[in-house]
Every structure is written in C-alpha cells, then in structure tokens.
C-alpha cells in the first residue's frame, strides 16, 4: 500500500496552501510512513494546464502508488472537501502559471463527461475528521481548474495502472496567514474561512489511519 501525495505550486499571485502542506508532510514523512505502514511519496505539480498530464504520469510511473491523494487550494471553501467527481472540462477563471485563462476545452478529447473518485469510504472519512474537530465534507464539484483536471487525469490513468490505484482530490481552505496577508484569492472574498497548517497536517494523518484501518 504505497501512497502518493501531490500538491500545486504558486497560484493566483501568491503562495499555495497545498505546497505549504506538502512541505510539512515531507518533513514528517518518516512518521507518516510508520502510520501508513508503507512508503509515502510527495510530488509538487506546477499549475500548468498543458504540462500537468505529463507531470502526473511521471510521478505515477516513478512511485507506482496504490493510493493517490491529490491536494490543492480552494479559497472560499469552509471545510476540507474530498472530491467525488471529476468532469471533462477546463475553464480557468484564474490564469495558470503560463497565463492561460478562460474556456480551454475538455480535459481529454473524446473522454467521458465524468469520472468518479475511487478512494474508499469518503463519507466515513469525512465523518471521522469531523468527529475529531476538523471541518470536512464530500464534494461533487471539483471546479473547472487544474484541481478538477488533475483528478480526471489520475482517474483515467488508474483504469490501466499496474499496480491499480485509488484516488481522490482534497481541496484545502486558505491558511490564516494567507488571509492576513490579503493574497488575491482572499482579497476577492468578503469573508474567508481559514484553517491552520497544523490542522491540515493532522487531517492527512487521520486520512491515513482511517484508510489503513479499513484496507
């Protein structure tokens, strides 16, 4: 049961909370691997709609995971949200790192309109996080930016992967320091929920424990 965790780099004119979380998880990887009972790999992806397919394929080929936890920033979310659906659509409301913006067509020409996340028991997982004081819920709307695109691509890759793997996308609220600094993602909102990095890291550890227990 090997695990790959991904995050995105700088986005929307400021730091990305998922990158901050990935840095924390890298620093704690030994403890994570003890808890998970197997290797844990961490990969940072650029917010590049044209390049993310190749970058994700390279990470999957290198690490050959059985579980893929994709993470990314979602300003305005008031909880940790686990995505259950990816849609075959790209419509970037905020430019990617190379300036691409607006409707860009499907994630995969000719691909199915929707793909369903395969990580087990997302409802039970969210309930376990909530019981530990962490705001969490499942979501059926991953947006139309790279978070949705990457989940769609991961689920596509899983259909032919050896070994097979399961995947979901975890959307993260902004960090309190991002809100305090009025990064563009926060400045556009009248009110903005924030979640400390310690809580995000604790949530990932709970995800691992819950999933490992039910494996």
For the domain that residue 208 is a member of, what is the CATH number?
A: 3.40.630.20
| Mean pLDDT of the region 156-160 | 97
Whether pLDDT at 62 is above 70: yes
pLDDT, tens digit, for every residue of 94-105? 999 999 999 999
Residue 215 has pLDDT above 80, yes or no: no
- How buried is 110 (Cβ within 10 angstroms: 0-12 exposed, 13-18 middle, 19+ buried)? exposed
Please say if the pLDDT value at position 189 is more than 90. no
User: Mean pLDDT over residues 65-83, rounded?
Assistant: 96
Instruction: For the chain, give the number of residues.
Output: 215
What residue numbers bound the domain in which 12 lies?
Answer: 3-213
Q: What is the mean pLDDT of the chain?
A: 96
Task: Check pLDDT > 80 for residue 142.
Answer: yes
Average pLDDT of the segment spanning 176-187: 92
The predicted pLDDT at position 18 comes to 98
Counting residues of the chain whose pLDDT is more than 70, the rounded percentage is 100
| CA-to-CA dists, residue 201 to 29, 66, 118, 189, angstroms | 11, 21, 22, 25
Question: How many domains, in total, are found in the chain?
Answer: 1
Cis peptide before 163 (omega within 30 of 0): yes
**Whole-angstrom distance, CA of residue 85 vs CA of residue 152:** 8
Alpha carbons 28 and 80: distance in angstroms, whole number: 20
- Per-residue pLDDT at 22 exceeds 70: yes
Is pLDDT above 80 for 127? Answer: yes
**Residue 165 confidence (pLDDT):** 97
User: Is pLDDT above 70 for 148?
Assistant: yes
Strands 166-172 and 136-139: unpaired
């Amino acid at each position: 049961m090997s695990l790959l965790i991904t995050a995105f780099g700088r986005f929307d004119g400021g730091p990305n909370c998922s990158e901050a979380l990935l840095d924390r998880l890298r620093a704690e990887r030994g403890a994570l691997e003890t808890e998970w009972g197997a290797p844990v790999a961490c990969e940072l992806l650029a917010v590049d709609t044209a390049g993310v397919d190749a970058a994700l394929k390279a990470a999957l080929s290198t690490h050959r995971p059985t579980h893929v936890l994709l993470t990314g920033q979602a300003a305005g979310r008031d909880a940790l949200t686990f995505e259950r659906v990816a849609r075959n659509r790209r419509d970037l409301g905020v430019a990617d790192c190379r300036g691409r913006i607006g409707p860009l067509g499907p994630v995969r020409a000719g691909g199915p309109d929707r793909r369903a996340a395969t990580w087990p028991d997302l409802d039970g997982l969210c309930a376990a996080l909530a019981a530990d004081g962490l705001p969490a819920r499942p979501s059926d709307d991953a947006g139309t930016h790279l978070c949705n695109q990457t989940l769609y691509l991961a689920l596509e890759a899983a259909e032919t992967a050896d070994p097979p793997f399961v995947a979901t996308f975890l959307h993260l609220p902004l960090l309190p320091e991002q809100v305090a600094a009025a990064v563009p993602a926060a400045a556009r909102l009248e009110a903005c929920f924030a979640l400390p990095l310690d809580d995000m890291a604790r949530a990932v550890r709970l995800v691992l424990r819950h999933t490992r227990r039910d494996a």
